[in-house]
Structure 1
Amino acid sequence: MASRTQSRPVGTVTRGTTNPNRLRRMDRWIAAAHGRQLRRAADAVAVDLGYGAAPWTAVELLQRLRTVAPHARVVGIEIEPARVAAAKPYEREGLHFRHGGFEVPLPVRPVLIRAANVLRQYDEEQVAAVWERLCARLAPADAASGFSGGLLVEGTCDEIGRRHVWVALDTSGPRTVTFATRLASLDRPSDLAERLPKALIHRNVPGEPVHAFLRDFDRAWAAAAPYASYGARQRWIRAVRDIAADWPVLDGVSRWRQGEVTVGWEALAPRASQ
């Protein structure tokens, strides 16, 4: 039987589009929200899955994780062999590149898998199986060290990282949805709808929770218009405070100030198909 590292990679080749700093919002959220867990992990291996035609996102992920977990290591995994070969010159201590796909061909189970702009080309019906496969590769919890288990962060952003929405999952499934934006470029919160991950983007229609959330967010944003005189940041904070009365907002002002808001997955999860 072929070994994990010898088997054919699972998945299809992406367009490979990438830019420096494209994933900064996701990276900074990971470092802030899960830095403590990364420090507690015995072997803090993170995977940049489907990093694309250039290795910038993997290089940046290592830099940002090491601000909170100095022993972190990053492995960039790509299904296109030529992209792996092109990335090899960028390898250094703590940073390596491997050929592979959703099977995550590593001898260890990573504490983090980041899959950004990977699932947009897949059908919505395929997402759950990919999530399950990736979560099965995450490092398990370790009660002795206080490590609560690995994390999968999967989402989508625009070409220069101004707007980004991602889902965070653990071995039990999806836990949260985070909306992040450059506030100066935002007309209304529902502008982020075009960057919803594949599991949600086709559910932004009346009758679905994510549509109701964005509708309420737009209303709160409009009601917070007087705060715009103090800047877009203050307007965003006021709007998030308002929606927190009706939606399970899980973070606080320190993250809202960054143009973020994180909501419990169960509140936005798609309704079962009829």
Structure 2
Amino acid sequence: MAAGRAPIGRITRGTTGTNRLRRIDRWISRHPALRRTDDPLIVDLGYGARGWTALELWSRLSRARPDVEVVGLEIDPARVDGAREELERVRAGQTAFSPDARVRFDRGGFEVPLAGDRRPVVIRAMNVLRQYDEADVAGAWQRMASRLQPGGILVEGTCDERGRVASWIAVDDSALPRTLTISLRLTDLDRPGVVAERLPKALIHRNVPGERIHDVLRALDEEWERAAGLAPFGPVQRWEGALRGLRARGVDLPDRSRWRLGEVTVPWEHIAPR
């Protein structure tokens, strides 16, 4: 970051749980943007009080792209110092992470400062915008997306503390939202609508009658109840039955490849705020 220039944004709560972002990481690892780029540089924006999430992100993505690099960015200089100390232990072979992990930590915010003005193919900003007003979201998306490679994506969303309920929006390099992904641990799931508590900031206050996201979540809960007869065959079968019912109601669900994982991706036009 340029000397004397303060990072853009606010310091987050810093909650960092081991494996909290596993669902998001695995989704990113399959995304065409990562697999096709000539420069697989990833930014973990607002990684929190510890550097675990950036190291876990590298570990998962390196299976798909062994040449992937991850830069963790935080506004709080104390968090950057702490993450760098953790990285020294990684390099010394004192952790479960590879000593050769291509990870580094720097100070930065929504401006996404990178050495040599490199541009990431993916910016992951999870649990960052929850503390902002809805009116701030578009501007934050614009700043971050402006730093992406052509064809890159911003992954912005929220999850619970254990990573069992998550949702995220894929925003393209023009700062336009393209999809919402809902990812749930199906074991012991009461109803899919529980994700309403963990919607991204752009949608969480829109879960009211008359809004598209409310209609989709209500329909998903109804289809989950309708698929209760499949429960004896397991939660995956019930979830897939509910999604088939949702699709029959006119909601476009083009990618079935991750349904069995408790995940569904919905095109933005089906849930965009009115």
Q: 1:237, 1:268 → 2: CA distance?
A: 20
Deviations along 1:90-127, one digit per CA (max 9) or x if unpaired, are: 43541000001000011201000000000000000000
Contact 1:210–1:269 (CA under 8 A) maintained in structure 2 = yes
Question: Which residue number in structure 2 is paired with residue 153 of structure 1?
Answer: 155
Paired-residue identity, %: 57
Q: 2:57, 2:19 → 1: CA distance?
A: 10
Residue 192 of structure 1 pairs with residue 195 of structure 2: yes
Residue 20 of structure 1 pairs with residue 5 of structure 2: no
Q: 1:65, 1:241 → 2: CA distance?
A: 30
Residue 249 of structure 1 pairs with residue 253 of structure 2: yes
SS at match of 2:258: helix
Contact 2:44–2:123 (CA under 8 A) maintained in structure 1 = yes
In structure 2, the CA distance between the partners of 1:162 and 1:16, relative to structure 1 (3 Å rule), is same
Question: Which residue number in structure 1 is paired with residue 93 of structure 2?
Answer: none
| Superposition misfits of 4+ residues, deviation over 4 angstroms | 3-6
**Which residue, out of 124, 132, 140, partners 2:134?**
124
In structure 2, the CA distance between the partners of 1:161 and 1:93, relative to structure 1 (3 Å rule), is closer
Question: Which residue number in structure 2 is paired with residue 144 of structure 1?
Answer: none
Question: Which residue number in structure 2 is paired with residue 66 of structure 1?
Answer: 62
Question: Which residue number in structure 1 is paired with residue 102 of structure 2?
Answer: 94
Query: Which residues of structure 1 form unaligned runs of 5+?
Result: 141-148
Residue identity matched to 2:121 = V
Contact 2:50–2:79 (CA under 8 A) maintained in structure 1 = yes
Question: Which residue number in structure 1 is paired with residue 38 of structure 2?
Answer: 42
**Which residue, out of 240, 247, 272, partners 1:269?**
272
Residue identity matched to 2:170 = A
Offset at residue 6 of structure 1 (A): 4.6
Offset at residue 266 of structure 1 (A): 1.3
Superposed counterparts of 1:185-264, under 5 Å: 185-245=188-248, 246-252=250-256, 254-264=257-267
Q: 2:191, 2:162 → 1: CA distance?
A: 19
Residue 138 of structure 1 pairs with residue 148 of structure 2: yes
Residue identity matched to 1:219 = E
Q: Over aligned residue pairs, what C-alpha RMSD do you find?
A: 1.2
SS at match of 1:183: coil
Question: Which residue number in structure 1 is paired with residue 112 of structure 2?
Answer: 104
Question: Which residue number in structure 2 is paired with residue 162 of structure 1?
Answer: 164
Query: Which residues of structure 2 form unaligned runs of 5+?
Result: 88-99
Offset at residue 214 of structure 1 (A): 0.5
Q: 2:238, 2:4 → 1: CA distance?
A: 53
Question: Which residue number in structure 1 is paired with residue 7 of structure 2?
Answer: 9
Q: Which moved further from structure 2: 51-60 or 82-91?
A: 82-91
Offset at residue 40 of structure 1 (A): 2.4
Residue 182 of structure 1 pairs with residue 185 of structure 2: yes
Residue identity matched to 2:157 = G
Q: 2:84, 2:233 → 1: CA distance?
A: 47
The number of residues matched between the two structures is 258
Contact 2:28–2:34 (CA under 8 A) maintained in structure 1 = no
Question: Which residue number in structure 2 is paired with residue 146 of structure 1?
Answer: none
Question: Which residue number in structure 1 is paired with residue 95 of structure 2?
Answer: none
**What TM-score does the superposition give when structure 2 sets the normalisation length?**
0.91
Residue 56 of structure 1 pairs with residue 52 of structure 2: yes
SS at match of 2:79: helix
